Chains A and B, each alone.
Chain A
């Protein structure tokens, strides 16, 4: 990675954390639905970047969100999980060609892009809410929160990618 990529990623990391904890965590649409936009950091991390570094950065990202939200380590754990399985999902949604730097997330066909974002966000939210609610007694609440928050997050992530697509 050259210098400009590092700077872009550092700025993205910090602005996503502050946006999430100061604004998005307090939306509470319909009482309990919040979007988790910060996942976008893991989504648009360079495809050829160092995977070990990504896992470590995801942990830091989740931990910062946890620190502000008093949530223990739920964001950290779910971020680490999606960072680890990201190569599998990339392969599943874009085919093998992503390994040869053929794919750009913003230029890939729409269906493949939607597949990639949806899978990552769903897995992230499922782990997140399972850890947060932490009881089988509230399994309906768990599924409901996962579904609605995922829809909200996916929409927001999609709009953000469209808006800032050129730079990323």
Chain B
């Protein structure tokens, strides 16, 4: 017994090192899976608070550009609204009474990374504002990512610039689809892979969201094709130049799909029956 105790005392530095190192490794591995970064994330009270104070201070820089972006978005939305008005003469009296499929919540980005291989953003909106896991996040010019962790006041978003991300996307002029991944090289360029080789492709074509998942509505703009090549298994891989600047995000919108629950339950029932 004494020898065991002596062994522990003699090797206490190594044992402490081993225990803490394994602890660090465990936390790292846990953070690599999508739904498990519960405690160790910047959505907690302490780091969320520090980041939101920082963003309060630095938020004033770049307001001019932010205003420009908002104005141009307003103009685009106004144009869209006008064209709808012209189409339907017999107008619906109260459009807010219609059942809506998607609703939007705006949020401020308080922390943004784009130089690592697994990039995340922190938003100042949390479960008390109705944010849930797996909601899509977009900016005024393109898609940003998917919510992967929520606390009471803050939420973290797995950015599209993350090697774990895989988002369905398709060509605007045909229905050929693929999955959007990131090869860590350039924060302005993501890759669209596994597009059928029959798809008509040329440089400059627009890529939009697919709408097959419950996360993003169909037809959100993503980017344009910059270069493409025929991959090994007879499918196209292409570089997509993003419309939005992921390195400069201030305000984003979180998309809430009101039918998500229903679709998920239905799909789950289908899987259970098989």
A residues adjacent to B (C-beta < 8 A): 18, 21-22, 25, 28, 31-34, 51-52, 55-56, 59, 62-63, 66-74, 76-78, 80-81, 83-84, 131-135, 138, 141
Please judge, given known A-B contacts A74-B24, A80-B24, whether A31 and B30 are in contact too, CB under 8 Å: no
| CA of A53 to CA of B184, assembled, Å | 38
Nearest CB of B to A139, in Å:
12
Nearest CB of A to B133, in Å:
15
Let me know if A70 and B12 touch, CB within 8 A.
Answer: no
Overall SS of chain A's interface: helix
B residues adjacent to A (C-beta < 8 A): 12-14, 16-17, 20-21, 23-32, 37, 40-42, 44, 46-47, 50-51, 54, 111, 113-118, 120, 122, 156, 163, 184, 186-187, 247
Additional 5 contacts, C-beta under 8 A, given A21-B50, A72-B37, A73-B28: A18-B50, A69-B42, A70-B122, A131-B25, A133-B117
| CA of A138 to CA of B118, assembled, Å | 13
Q: Among the listed B20, B28, B31, which residue makes an inter-chain contact with A56, where contact means beta carbons less than 8 Å apart?
A: B20
Jot down 23 A-B pairs with beta carbons below 8 A, ordered by A: A18-B50, A21-B50, A22-B50, A28-B247, A31-B187, A33-B115, A52-B16, A56-B20, A59-B20, A63-B40, A67-B41, A67-B47, A70-B40, A70-B156, A73-B27, A76-B24, A80-B20, A83-B17, A84-B14, A84-B17, A133-B117, A141-B117, A141-B184
Please judge, given known A-B contacts A67-B42, A133-B117, whether A72 and B30 are in contact too, CB under 8 Å: yes
Let me know if A28 and B114 touch, CB within 8 A.
Answer: yes
Q: Among the listed B24, B42, B120, B184, which residue makes an inter-chain contact with A77, where contact means beta carbons less than 8 Å apart?
A: B24
Let me know if A80 and B31 touch, CB within 8 A.
Answer: no
Let me know if A132 and B23 touch, CB within 8 A.
Answer: no
| CA of A86 to CA of B233, assembled, Å | 50
Let me know if B20 and A132 touch, CB within 8 A.
Answer: no
List A contacts of B163 (CB < 8 A). 135
Q: Among the listed A51, A59, A68, A72, which residue makes an inter-chain contact with B31, where contact means beta carbons less than 8 Å apart?
A: A72
Nearest CB of A to B122, in Å:
8
Let me know if A74 and B115 touch, CB within 8 A.
Answer: no
Let me know if B28 and A72 touch, CB within 8 A.
Answer: yes
List B contacts of A84 (CB < 8 A). 13-14, 17, 21
List B contacts of A63 (CB < 8 A). 24, 40
List B contacts of A78 (CB < 8 A). 24
List B contacts of A133 (CB < 8 A). 117
| CA of A131 to CA of B44, assembled, Å | 23
Please judge, given known A-B contacts A28-B115, A67-B44, whether A72 and B21 are in contact too, CB under 8 Å: no
| CA of A33 to CA of B114, assembled, Å | 11
| CA of A166 to CA of B6, assembled, Å | 41
List A contacts of B118 (CB < 8 A). 132
Please judge, given known A-B contacts A55-B20, A72-B28, A77-B25, whether A132 and B12 are in contact too, CB under 8 Å: no
